[in-house]
Each structure stands twice: as structure tokens, then as C-alpha cells.
Amino acid sequence: MNYRLPVGFVALLIAAAGCSSVANLPSAPANQAAFSSAAQAPGRTVRSHPATSASFQVVYTFQDSADGGNPFAGLTVDSAGNLYGTTSSGGIGYGTAFELKNTANGYKYVVLHTFAGGSDGANPYARLIPGAGRKLYGTTVNGGGGAGTVFELLPGKAPRKERVLYAFTQSTQGANPSAGDLTIDANGAIYGTTQYGGAYGQGTVFKLSPAKGVDKEQVLYSFGATSNDGTQPYAGITFDRAGNIYGTTSLGGQGYGTVYELTPSKSGWTEQTIHTFGNVSDGGTPYAGLSFDAQGNLFGSTTQGPGGGGGTFFELTPSNGSWSFNTIYSLSGWGISGEFRTAYLDPSDNIVGTTHCDGQYSAGSVYELQRSGSSYNYVDLYDFTGGTDGQYVFSNPAFDSHGNIFGTTNVGGSGYGVVWEVRGARKTGRRHI
């Protein structure tokens, strides 16, 4: 059976195809800390690249055979430094879940599950999320009941036993969970989003409650209820300390997406739009989720900047029941870039993230926004060349206990993407707030 890509990802791939050509570029140097603008892609303005002590290495190169290929998702790192992830293709054509075991002789690649399509699910685009008892959870965008699945990988030797917790259909219960990470609460309930389906066909926020057999699904909210409501959520959700849910929609509002809040009550969940993007100074089309800092402020990013530029980073500050929006950094003027995954905050409110085809070679980058008072300084940690080091970064960064940064590229390497590591960028680890 041939499975379709969801519209959102088709849009991403079209955007990526608009990047400057990176064909026939050399392999990445071992340390790309300092750059020259002489090798910049035609027609691009390159900002300064302050020297850092960071070094880059390719951890694994996908072959699109039994190992999988074309990962969209980021990685999960456990306490032993093992890496877990998914590929959207390869295996027997429907993608894989994998582990890179951290050994004394380097990383050993192990396939945890090969997706079979049909009721098993197909094409995982989201991260694997750890749960109790060393279980792993994730989603596929296709398969199941025809519109994706939520699955569980049980602990044990590879290949692991997989259990489909819920199979989506093109129905009011939601359809096509895209790239948003799942969230698991203290009671084992699983929360996520679907890009389509629901009462109005414009996506949902859902909850899966643990049960014998197939888990029970509850739609907490269906998007598109009004003409100015957000639509098609691409990212997962974030909880605050009071149990309210926050997230973004890629469309709706004025056509450029929204930030929403869901508040629980005895009668259900109430949605409130706390920001509507206008693609002016605030940017538009947020695909990434949100992060809280210690003070309860929300941080996020957009894929479009003013007038269709390179994206923005924003902060939402709560005050007396409302939220104040502030654009803290703009990537406009640097060509197609933007952030498709949730950025990470450290305890000092520095932001670490990736762009899908920004950078000196228009092939993606790893960056840090270092906070200095009320402003931020942009530091390039690595620019992908599009060669053996990989090309087009759709993954969010992951961190080990030493502060080393890990991620994936969708293509490059042997043509099917790589797992990469940036070492020594920072001395402390990161946390997703």
C-alpha cells in the first residue's frame, strides 16, 4: 500500500527544496568553529560566525535498507548515553525505530522495530518518548486505521515487541499525528495532537488513558470551531504547573497560526487563543512547540518572518490573566530558515535549536541564542554543508549529561540522512522546560 505524506510535511519539503543548491560540496571539516564568508551560497547574506570550541562528528549514516532512512524526528538520550530515534522510511518501506548503543568502541546501531504498514502503522515522524518500565512511546503518521497510530515498544532484546495503543481513522477522533512529541503524565496518560480529523477536520488535542487492550482515547479539543480559531496543530503540547495545556497551530487565526491554551474544568476543556500570528513583526506559521522558563514565561518560534522571511523567536509573558507577546529575535533577511522543532532553554534562558536549511551552505544549522540582559546574541555552533555531514535538519536537539548535542538530518550522508553530534559547545547540559 502506498501511504501519503501529510500536507504539512509536503509543505516542509517544498520549502526545503527552495534552499540554495548544495550539490557537490565537500565533506564537513572535523571542526567547523570558525568560518569564512568566501564559500557562502550564492545570493545569501552570512552573519558572523563567532569562534567556538565545538567539534562535529557523524555518529551514523543511514542506508535506507533494513536500518531505515530519512529521519524527521529528533533523538532521545538515556542516562547511559544511548540514543533512540525513528526513521520515516527504510526497513521494509514504512520506517523503523532504532537505538544507537553507547559502547567503549563507539555507537552500535540496533533496529528496535520495523514498521510493517497497515494496522502496525507506517512512517513515524516524531521522537520516541521514554515511559515507566523502560518502555518507549511514539506515533506514526500513516497506517493503523488509515490515519496513523500511537504505539508502545516494550523493554527487552531487539527487536522489541510493539503494541499499537490506538489506531486513528479519518474521523472525529483525529487523524495523522504528525511530528509533535507525545507527553506522558504521572498517571501514565498520554497526550498529543493530530494535524487533521476532529469535529471540524482541522486537528485535535487528544488523551489516551491506560486500559487493558487498546487504550481509551478522548478528544480534549477539536480545532476549527470558529472562523478565527487555530487549525492544524503540528507540534505537541506543554503543561504548566496548574495542569493547563499550551501549544501552537500552524494555520488558522489570520492565516498564520496561533498559540492556544486549554484549561480543564469539570465539564471539559476550554480553549483560549492567547496569540494570533499576523506574519508582521511577530512572524507566522509556527511548527514548533513551546517551552516554559522558571518564571512561567512561554518561548517559541515561527517558520516565517516578517513578510515571509526567515522566522522569529518569541516570548509570551503572563500578566493578570492575559499574555504579552514579544519578538525576541528575528531571522528575517537570511533566506529560508525557520525552526520546525521545539527549541530548548537552559537555566540561564539561553536557547539551543536547529534550522532546516539556514546556515552558510543553506543545508541547516545548529545554533545557540545566548541571553545578554534583555537581548540575545546568535551563535552558530555548526553549519551543515549538504555532503557526508548531512543536509536539512528537521530534528530538535537532544543532550547528554555532558552537554553534547545530538540530532538527525533528513538527507545527505549516503542520501538518506545521518545522526550527528556537536561536542564541546557548552559545559553544561540542557533541559526542555
Least-confidence region, from 80-84, 133-137, 221-225, 422-426: 422-426
- CA contacts within 13 A on the Cβ side of 425: 30
- In the chain, % helix, strand, coil (3-state, to 5) comes to 5, 40, 55
pTM of the entire predicted model:
0.87
Q: How far from the centroid of its chain's Cα atoms is residue 326's Cα?
A: 22
Report yes or no: 62 and 53 within 8 Å, Cβ to Cβ: no
Report yes or no: 181 and 172 within 8 Å, Cβ to Cβ: no
Arithmetic mean of pLDDT, 295-310: 83
Report the alpha-carbon distance of residue 247 to residue 203 in Å, rounded.
Answer: 13
Please tell me the predicted confidence (pLDDT) of residue 155: 95
Q: Could you tell me which residues come within 8 angstroms of residue 319 by beta carbon, excluding any fewer than 6 positions away?
A: none
Domains and CATH numbers, the chain: 73-178+180-222 (2.120.10.30)
Q: Which of 24-33, 166-175, 306-315 shows the highest mean pLDDT? A: 166-175
Report yes or no: 85 and 70 within 8 Å, Cβ to Cβ: no
Q: Could you tell me which residues come within 8 angstroms of residue 75 by beta carbon, excluding any fewer than 6 positions away?
A: 83, 84, 85, 127, 395, 398, 406, 407, 408, 419
Report yes or no: 233 and 222 within 8 Å, Cβ to Cβ: no
User: By percentage, how much of the chain surpasses pLDDT 90?
Assistant: 64
All three cell numbers of 244? 493547563
> In the structure, what pLDDT confidence band is assigned to residue 214 with cuts at 50, 70 and 90?
low
Please tell me the predicted confidence (pLDDT) of residue 426: 57
Q: Which of 92, 91, 97, 89 is nearest to 127 (CA)?
A: 97
Report the alpha-carbon distance of residue 361 to residue 386 in Å, rounded.
Answer: 7
Q: Which of 271, 258, 286, 421 is nearest to 343 (CA)?
A: 286
Report yes or no: 235 and 179 within 8 Å, Cβ to Cβ: yes
Instruction: Provide the sign of the torsion angle of the four alpha carbons 387, 393, 399, 400, taken in this order.
Output: negative
Average pLDDT, the chain: 85
Please tell me the predicted confidence (pLDDT) of residue 336: 37
Q: How far from the centroid of its chain's Cα atoms is residue 312's Cα?
A: 16
H or E stretch covering 298 = strand 298-301
Please tell me the predicted confidence (pLDDT) of residue 340: 66
